[in-house]
Structure 1
Amino acid sequence: MSNLTATVKHVRSGVFHVVCLDSVGNRISSGSAFMSKGYLVTNGHVFDTPPQTSRVWLRRDEHTAWDQGVFLRRKEFERRRVVASPADEYDYAVLDIPELMKFSPYQFEVTSHETKSVGEQVAFLGYPLEHMNLTCHVGIISSFYRRGPVDVIQIDASVNPSNSGGPLFDVTTGSVVGIVTRKATGLTDLFKTLCQTIENNIRILNGMGMDMEMGGISIKQVLAAGQAQILSTLDQIERSANVGIGYAFSCKHLLEEADFSQRQATGD
């Protein structure tokens, strides 16, 4: 058995799927998270659930039925926050959800990226795309750099939507050195500008007081629906674009949070 195989087998119970559901149970968005010191750790942007979220389902891949895992109302999920940093800063959130302890999850050790070097092998676990099963990706650390105040770990591995919040860990020890945060798409700033233009068009159309009808059909509604469809298509393009490069924010910043670092470790 390889080091990675043994490590994944040992730690996988500590990784959870964060699924946001609307009022009728439709999936809106999702992300990944992991346990450390009895806390659930994820990205700040995963914690910031979409406004239409009604409930949050915290599950592992063996939780396939609606009566399995842990369900929290959106407001209750938000109240469980211990500390957090927004997406434009360190992008992490730490939550106290003791209900998860009934599943005896593995508790990851968290350490700084400063223990690692460029070229070292790392892996991450999570629930990418629309997957309901836990997946493992492996790659190497290709670079360290700072983006503003944040220490960023660039990895040569395919990060996909919903991998966000998962643990980036040492393949031998299982120690987490970073929190997976985003992927590289290869799309230029022109693509981002196009998306912003379409969003602005929709806001303008929805805010217009005047309307015209043709054959009993609202011209404003037709235009808004067309723009919304274009935006949805652009979103699918962005989600599927991947150049095999991902990024994680160093756990160094999380370790500087007294509420997290001073908590006694919980047995795994």
Structure 2
Amino acid sequence: MNRTPTVVGLAVATCLVSTTAFADLASTVARVKPAIAIVGTYKTTNSPRFALRGTGFVVAEGSQSQGNRLVTNAHVLVPPADADPEASLVVQLRTDNNSWQSRPAKVLEVDALHDLALLRFDGPASAAFKVRSSDTVQEGQSVAFMGFPIGGALGFSPVTHRALVSSIAPAALPTPTASQINPKLIRSVRSNSPFDIFQLDGTAYPGNSGGPLFDPDSGEVLGVVNMVLIKGTRESALSNPSGISYAVPSRYVLELLERNPGN
């Protein structure tokens, strides 16, 4: 006779915890959203003039809450061999009136091994993410990621997804021309992989590449989304998503920033 109140009490407690968790994420998203950016190229003779390549995020300068440096994936950048000399690298940042402002950018460093790139953009400093070491991240930990899925098809509005770190396993990095991988590639390279990567149980899309993986409570960056597992053809990443994505741990972002102090 005493079991029913206990079960009801547990159910109520679970609902309260769940509601609090979503409330925390909502406040975190509102706080970090101004630091998310669009990375692409601009050419006056193209239509449209701006071509989205992926997502990026502004990183803080030391203890400051703003910065002029931005992190994205190396594969988001146009390979040098394919670069159009008349097109320029730009990032788009959200302004106070909720519009997008284009800023010229330059590449400070490309870390091809970890699929990372560090950029600096012109103009005043922007709101920024704080980057935390990923060394304490555990399997089963709740995370969130933000970006621009499917490019501009859904409009230039950042989208947030919740996920779990389902596995920490050897990496299978993408080729320079693709941000998707398949099971065969994973099996072929994992045995010789030089570092571990986070496998997520969340669905990312090509436009999410370069977006931040962050702590839902603090908003601190724990990784960079860089790949999505596809089933079948590349087009199936949109029509039949696997629900499995990958992110590069933030320890390599911190190393990238340490190699470029004050740049």
- Provide Cα deviations, 1:190-221, integer angstroms capped at 9, x if missing partner: x5xxxxxxxxxxxxxxxxxxxxxxxxxxxxxx
The residue aligned with 2:46 is 24
Does 2:171 match 1:150?
A: no
- In 2, are the aligned partners of 1:60 and 1:134 still within 8 Å (CA)? no
Q: Among residues 68, 79, 92, which one is paired with 1:59 in the alignment?
A: 92
Tell me, in whole angstroms, the C-alpha distance in 2 between the residues paired with 1:179 and 1:100: 24
* Partner residue, 1:226: none
- Aligned to 2:41, what secondary structure does the other structure show? strand
Q: Percent identity?
A: 27
2:24 corresponds to: 3
- The separation in 1 between residues aligned to 2:33 and 2:98, in whole angstroms, is 17
Unaligned runs of 5+ in 1: 192-234
Alignment of 1:95-110 (within 5 A): 95-99=119-123, 101=125, 104-105=126-127, 107-110=128-131
Deviation at 1:82, TM superposition (A): 1.6
Paired AA for residue 35 in structure 1: V
TM-score, normalised via structure 2 length: 0.69
* Deviation of 1:28 (Å): 4.1
Match of 1:44 among 71, 74, 91: 74
Check whether the contact 2:103–2:123 (CA below 8 A) recurs between aligned residues: no
Q: Does the CA contact (< 8 Å) of 2:34 and 2:94 recur in 1? A: no
Preserved CA contact (<8 Å) 2:231 2:237: no
Looking at secondary structure, tell me which structure has more helix per residue.
1
Deviation at 1:238, TM superposition (A): 4.6
For the aligned residue pairs, the C-alpha RMSD in angstroms reads 2.5
Q: Is the CA contact (8 Å cut-off) linking 1:21 and 1:29 kept in structure 2?
A: no
Q: Match of 1:126, as an amino acid?
A: G
Kindly indicate whether residue 84 of structure 2 is the aligned counterpart of residue 85 of structure 1.
no
Asked if 1:70 is matched to 2:96, the reply is no
1:170 to 176, 196, 215: 215
Decide whether the 8 Å contact of 1:186 with 1:243 is kept in 2.
yes
Q: Which whole-Å CA distance do the structure 2 matches of 1:100 and 1:48 have between them?
A: 25
Whole-Å separation in 2 of the counterparts to 1:71 and 1:255: 24
Deviation (angstroms), 1:64: 8.3
TM-score, scaled to structure 1: 0.68
> What do the CA deviations read for 1:107-130 (whole angstroms, capped 9, x no partner)?
211122222111111001111112
Q: Against the structure 1 CA distance between its residues 97 and 57, is the aligned structure 2 distance closer, same or farther, given a 3 Å change threshold?
A: closer
Provide the C-alpha distance between the structure 2 equivalents of 1:70 and 1:149, rounded to a whole number of angstroms. Answer: 36
Bigger Rg over Cα? 1
